[in-house]
Structure 1
Amino acid sequence: MTKRTVLLAGVSLALLGGSALAQSQETFGTIELDEIIVSANRAPSEAAKTGSTVLVATAEDLEQAGDIELQDYLARLPGITVSQNGPPGTQSNLRIRGLGLAYIQVRIDGIDISDPTGTQVATNFSNLLVDDIERIEILKGSQSALYGSQAIAGVIDITTKRAAAGEVTQSAHLEGGSYATLNGSYGIAAGFERGEFSLNAQHFKTNGFSAFDEDEYPGAEADGYRNTTLSGRGSFLLTDQVELYSALRYYDTSVEYDNDYSGGANAPVSTDTILFGGRTGAKVAWWDDRVSSDISVQGMQTERKYYTDDVFQFYFKGKRFSIESINTAEITSSLDITVGTNYNKEYAEGTYGLDADMHTAGVFGQIDWSATDVLNMSLAGRLDNHSDFGTYETFRLSAAFNPDYQTTIRSSIGTGFRAPSLYELYDPYAGDSTLEPEESLSFDVGVERSWMSERLSTSIGYFYIETENLIINDAGTAYKYVQVPGTSTSQGVETSAQFTVNDYLALTADYTYTWAVNSDDERLARVPRHDVGLGAVIEPTDNWRIALQGNYVADTLANDGTDLEDYFLLNGNVAYEFDEGPELYVRAENILDQDYQTAKGYGTAGFSVYAGVRAQF
């Protein structure tokens, strides 16, 4: 299928009001589709009127699942996979629809936390914990028209916890278990008549297990990890029309790992990482609240230091500064217009000669049109001027069609681009300053429907993403970055179902098929062809909850082209919540004690048990 074929098909489907089907908001496990979402149109929108694919998860969903690291929760969602080089904290890669972190923009309280010094600019999900998270929106497909470079596979927009008006709440969480793991957090949130603030702290420490698989490297030592994360946010109504807000995020981590260059399975190597980011801005409403403006400034800094035998070896330091404005106007009851601008500058330096910066200035616009009571459409366009590559244009067109209150049909099509990172361009050894940006086209189509008085919900959809001029780290050129001519594609089907059997039992299931290949039609590594999720939540009384989650992954290639073994993981937890008191729980991971790998040669956890207490007061 050529780009022209997909483009014309997508435009025709959207203009016909979704006569074709669009990938719906899936419901898997404890994911629920909220009425209002923000990420899809950069402004609050009704979910049923949004043509793009969005998954939503809440703090309650995260607590029920019991994961410590965010990527472990996300890995069980439709269309998302994670591969990791060993225990918590080690290098990992999260993929949406077959595309990795370099193609996913991640924002926490609006702060872009991707690392400007990375070999490819990407967010380190190994360092993201869950206890301070209030809500996650996962926007799939090429979104460069709204978010700029990097948002090719999608956007993950995370909001931390905040207080309800007139309330002061505190939360505490303590857990311990296998691999000498200890996880604790504390948060306080206060809401006042004209404002609110929240502060959260979490510390996670584990002795871990060997990064290299212990079956292949007998006698391998364990590789530990620690993470201290702090976050805060606040807002204040200066007047009835002006709101001021700020958000901060900080983490300090240290991880041990293995490599063949410094001792193999007993390598005495580690990395310490510190990240600090902040954002502040103002929201202004006028013209009887029919026009709103959001103007913000943000900055972040990250530093990674590498050690051997606790002796410092080298470092990378990166900085980012951004200014953004988003202005939305309600022209009529059926027509909204959004106009935005942004400026982004990144800087990276390292021990071995990396010292470079780049900047991008962009402007975008979007029209949201309720053509009829059952048809809603959105068209967005963007111009970005990059300091190294000049001007790039991107667009997105989407439509949502609601023939009845039980059915939502969606379709979206969009283009995107990813500028090479400072490392890919200017690293003295691996970089190539002649690299050009990658360009992409994304299309999805599907339907969501509820049945049996909304006790059963189902969704099915098709996605297609193609990327031109892929940039890879090539072993054939001694691991330098090169441009691969031609088009790489990732396409597949996402399906899901959620069934509320009765007041005590809810069942879920999902299946994702992904076919991802490069320009030579060779399959991409670490992208499973088949990914199945199963879940059950049993609540026999108001106090007890039992949850089980199963994940079957099959037909995955390793980086060397060999097959990874298929596996099935079963996790579960049992919780008891006292009346107006704390919740006690026990959870288990890999209950069947499966021996498996998500990255060839790297270990994974065996059967593990953890116990904890969670309280709000």
Structure 2
Amino acid sequence: MRGASVQRPSAVVIVAVCGISRQISFHEGPCPALREFRMQTLRISLLLTTALVTALPAGAEDTTALDEITVSANLEATGTDRTGATVTVVTADALAQAGDTRVADYLSRLPGISVNSSGPIGTTASLYLRGAPAQYIPVLVDGIEVGDPASPQGAYDFGTLSTSDVSRIEVLEGSSSALYGSQAVAGVINITTKRATKPGTEQSVAAEYGQYATRKFSYSVATKTENAEAALTYSHISTHGFSARDENDGNYEADGYRANRLSFFGQYTFANGLTLGANGFAEKSWGEFDDYEGDVAGTPGNDFTTRDSKGARVFADFVTGTVDNTLEATWFDSDRQSCSNGWCDPFDGTRTKLGYQGATDLGATARLAFGADTTKEKSAGASTRTNGVFGELNWAAAEKLDLTFSLRHDTHSDFGSFTSGRIAAVYRLQDDLLLRASLGNGFRAPSLYELYSVYGDPDLKREDSQSADIGIEKRWGETASLRATAFYLDAKNLIGWDYAATACGQAWGCYAQVDGHSRRSGLELAGHYRVSPRLDLAAAYTYTDNSVSTGWAAVAHHDLTVTATGEITEALSGDMSVHYVADRPDGMEDYAVVNASLSYDFGEGRTAYLRVENLFDKEYQTNKGYGTSDRAFYVGLRASF
């Protein structure tokens, strides 16, 4: 990236929020509602600003932390202080410290995210972002989109993804179709696998054993030189599990799971500046689940799913004149079979994508990124193609103000065209006090299953959405930080199951367009405070208003996680988190669950740990009718060399 210290955007400049919304295809979007939202969030922000400025912790340092880089918030890598988008970055150290087996379990600690699990690892886990379900959240692993093209609504299932191969996660919130196209209605989750962290060769190994005969093992090797980088990771997990349907409802059969995964990354930079690279993964898994009837005597292990998924990406980075260029091709294939009561249904899907992106400086204060891509999805003999062109303008409008204008136009082979846009702004009142705001729209194309399966309707139209957020962030050096964000998300033309629909010819209903709007609004808070050199506290809270919820399942109104991390001695450290969920839908009970861990550092990169899930053996459900773990103990070893 050259010159200007800006981010990656599209080349359309627009004014006035309601006027902008119409110009970038918000259509008849509820401008009065947006005006009311802006007034409310402005009041909140002003109150928070006053509180934050006056709440400086005693003894806080005056130093300012180095700006973190995000690769998701814009078309090019950008400092988090230079983007108006709301993005949360999760590091490898944070994942290791928490010790969660599933990525979904860690993500549920973050503001704006809730997870509904249908049992132990290997069963379905649905993620909600700002109250929007998983089909509105694209998931990328090393640049490969991994949402299942053969699933009913194209969502990614977090139930099988473990943390063993993950080094970094970015959660981008707000409508982002202007950057990522279809599905990016609520945001995007970008996952990076393990890489070398410094020049030389690094190896790491981890092993764990615990409750439900759970075994985990992973091995990584990564190397980095001045011109080259390579990484390889293998991971395995197996467990007897517990009953997917809740044991308290009379279910008794444990639902086990096993999986093997291999991932790789490599790139080489030639003397002329050309960089060529490739990355990919392959995973095979088998896992039991429970159908709606639960466990039935005499039918052990007859509900199970097999998965064989793999993906690959090749890319080239090069410079021509003043333009930085990237060419890439990605491929994802999912071969899944769901078997129940002796009958197996195959769900096979593939996704291929070709893309080009260029970027160039426009003077000293602006940078333009632009490009085009084409994506083809296939499943069960049907296919769709989406062609897109996009652009993004990053403009350092003033010393303390950065603006991003993003625009994308997609043409879908079935429903036609859609133009999506986003405007994001960040104003640095001080180096450690930032105001952020963004406004965008998005869309979701009907999935292949919704269009062409025996329950589908080929006349379904796209879903439309628009979102806005405004927030404030204050940091007190390394001592403390606090971020507050108010958000609004509105969607229409949702696609859902309708028992009365007849277009598919099935007597019990079809997928159909849902009348009316669905809306989510709320407030996210995230904070950190270093109580002492040996004790850190962190908290994340989300309030979600579900009052208008046509076509969307409701989420809890209140979701709070508080985490304490401390050093007991120079070698012994501990971590404890409390997750509290209240005012839940469908009459489900509130719950608070506590997880804890102890780690002992032997030095030279060797660590032993004890992890306890559900420390106080709480009986609770995240998904109605489905079970969660009892108190469970795990012991493990990690070593790097």
1:28 alignment counterpart: none
1:426 paired with 2:461, answer: no
CA contact (8 A) 2:253 2:295 kept: no
Corresponding residue for residue 357 of structure 1: 383
CA separation of 1:244 and 1:6: change in aligned 2, threshold 3 A:
farther
Matched residue, 2:60: none
**CA apart distance, 1:284:** 0.9
Per-residue CA distance 1:370-395 (angstroms, 9 max, x = gap): 01110100001111000001110100
Distance 1:509 1:70 in 2: 18
20 and 363 in structure 1: CA distance in 2 versus 1, 3 angstrom threshold:
farther
TM-score (normalizing by structure 2): 0.88
Q: 2:353 aligns with which of 319, 322, 334?
A: 322
Deviation at 1:540, TM superposition (A): 3.2
- TM-superposed CA distance for 1:305, in Å, is 1.5
Q: 1:331 aligns with which of 352, 362, 371?
A: 362
C-alpha offsets along residues 55-94 of structure 1, whole Å, 9 cap, x if unaligned? Answer: 0011111000001110010011111000011111111200
Residue number among 215, 228, 233 corresponding to 1:195 in the alignment? 228
Displacement after TM superposition at 1:6 (Å): 5.1
Does 1:439 find its partner at 2:467? Answer: no
- Pick aligned residue for 2:580 from 538, 552, 560: 552
Range with bigger deviation, 392-401 or 579-588: 579-588
The yes-or-no answer on 1:580 pairing with 2:604 is yes
- Tell me what 2:521 maps to: 491
Determine the C-alpha separation between the residues in 2 that align with 1:519 and 1:427: 26
- Residue of structure 2 in register with 1:27 after alignment: none
User: What is aligned with 1:281?
Assistant: 315
The one-character-per-residue Cα deviations of 1:271-319 (angstroms, maximum 9, x if unpaired) are 10110100001011344xx53111100111111113346x562211111
Query: How much identity, in percent, do the aligned residues show?
Result: 38
Matched residue, 1:542: 570
Once residues 66 and 468 of structure 2 are traced to their aligned partners in structure 1, the CA distance between those partners, rounded to angstroms, is 21
Per the TM alignment, residue 407 of structure 1 is displaced from its structure 2 partner at its CA by: 0.2
Q: Does 1:514 align with 2:514?
A: no
Cross-structure match for 1:466:
490
Match of 1:259 in 2: 291
After superposition, the Cα gap between the structure-2 partners of 1:158 and 1:260, relative to the gap in structure 1 and judged at 3 Å, is closer
Give how far 1:542 is off. Answer: 3.5
Question: What aligned pairs does 1:336-415 form with structure 2 within 5 A after superposition?
Answer: 336-349=367-380, 355-415=381-441
Q: 1:183 to 1:33 in 2, by over 3 A?
A: farther
Match of 2:275 in 1: 243
1:104 maps to which of 129, 137, 145? 137
SS in 1 for 2:603: coil
Q: Which residue number corresponds to residue 457 of structure 1?
A: 481
Alpha-carbon spacing, 1:479–1:455, altered in 2? closer, same or farther (3 Å): farther
CA distance 1:273–1:196, shift in 2 (3 Å)? same
Query: Secondary structure of 1:578's partner?
Result: strand
1:296 matches 2:328: yes
Distance across 1 between alignment mates of 2:335 and 2:259 = 15
Q: Is the 8 A contact 2:492 2:517 kept in 1?
A: yes
State the distance in 2 between where 1:479 and 1:71 align: 32
Equivalent position amino acid for 1:329 in 2:
T
Tell me which amino acid in the other structure corresponds to 1:432: D
Query: Which amino acid in structure 1 is aligned with residue 316 of structure 2?
Result: A
Cα distance, 1:116 vs. partner?
0.3
When you count strand as a share of all residues, which structure comes out higher?
1
Q: Work out whether residues 37 and 488 of structure 2, in 8 Å CA contact, stay in contact via their aligned partners in 1.
A: no
Relative to structure 1, is the Cα distance of residues 264 and 151 closer, same or farther in structure 2, using a 3 angstrom cutoff?
A: farther
Deviation at 1:12, TM superposition (A): 11
Structure 1 unaligned spans of 5+: 25-31, 350-354
Aligned-pair CA distance for 1:20: 11
Asked if the contact 1:471–1:484 (Cα under 8 Å) also holds between the matched residues in 2, the reply is yes
Secondary structure at the aligned position of 2:532 is classed as coil
1:517 Cα shift?
4.4
* Contact in 2 for aligned 1:213/1:601 (Cα 8 Å): yes
Distance in structure 1 (CA, Å) of the matches to 2:323 and 2:48: 33
- Contact 1:550 / 1:570 at 8 angstroms: preserved in 2? yes
| Residue 166 (structure 1) shift | 3.2
Shift, 1:543, TM fit? 2.0
2-side partners of 1:148 and 1:20: how far apart?
Answer: 36
| Secondary structure of the structure 2 residue equivalent to 1:485 | coil
Residue correspondences, number: 590
- Relative distance call for 1:603 and 1:263 in structure 2 (3 A) is closer
From the superposition, tell whether residues 7 and 397 of structure 1 become closer, same or farther in structure 2 (CA, over 3 Å).
Answer: farther
1:134 aligns to 2:167 (yes or no) = yes
Q: CA deviation at 1:479?
A: 4.6
Correspondence for 1:185: 218
Is the 1:241–1:286 contact (alpha carbons within 8 Å) kept by the matching residues of 2? no
What are structure 2's unaligned runs of at least 5 residues? 1-17, 19-28, 53-64, 502-507
Aligned partners of 1:213, 1:475: CA distance in 2, in Å?
27
Residue identity matched to 2:458: S
Q: Distance in 2 between matches of 1:81 and 1:128?
A: 16
Distance 2:144 2:197 in 1: 22
Alignment check: 8 A CA contact 2:534 2:568 kept: yes
With over 3 angstroms needed to count, the CA separation of the structure-2 counterparts of 1:146 and 1:538, relative to structure 1, is same
**Matches of 2:614 and 2:554, distance apart in 1:** 20
Displacement of 1:193: 3.0
The amino acid that maps onto 2:357 is: I
The change in CA–CA distance for 1:272 and 1:244 in structure 2 (over 3 A counts) is: same
C-alpha displacement of 1:490? 0.7
Match of 2:533 in 1: 503
1:417 match: 443
Match of residue 344 from structure 2:
313
1:86 aligned partner? 119
User: Is 1:67 matched with 2:95?
Assistant: no
User: Which residue is 2:24 aligned to?
Assistant: none
Paired letter, 2:271: T
Distance of 1:20 and 1:328 partners within structure 2: 39
Give CA deviations for 1:206-225 in whole Å, capped at 9, x if unaligned. 1011111111115x211111
With the length of structure 1 as denominator, give the TM-score of the two structures: 0.91
Change (3 A) 1:264 1:375: farther
Q: What is the deviation of 1:475?
A: 4.2
Residues 502-556 of structure 1: CA distance to partner in whole angstroms, max 9, x if unpaired? 2101011221100124465x9x535111001101010134322111111000122
| Code of the aligned partner of 1:505 | L
SS in 2 for 1:258: coil
Question: Which deviates more from structure 2 when the two are superposed, residues 504-513 or residues 540-549?
Answer: 540-549
Residue 13 to residue 599, structure 1, CA distance change in 2 (3 Å): closer
Worse-superposed segment, 576-585 or 157-166: 157-166
Q: What whole-Å deviation, never above 9, does each CA across 1:311-362 have from its counterpart, x for those lacking one? A: 562211111110011111112221010102110000001xxxxx31000000
How far apart, CA to CA, are the structure 2 residues paired with 1:9 and 1:382? 27
Decide whether the 8 Å contact of 2:245 with 2:294 is kept in 1.
no
What is the rounded CA distance, in whole Å, between the counterparts of 2:636 and 2:276 in structure 1? 37
User: Which secondary structure state, in structure 2, belongs to the residue aligned with residue 425 of structure 1?
Assistant: helix
Letter in 1 for 2:317: K
Q: Deviations over 1:148-189 (max 9, x none)?
A: 000111011111111245311111000010011001100111
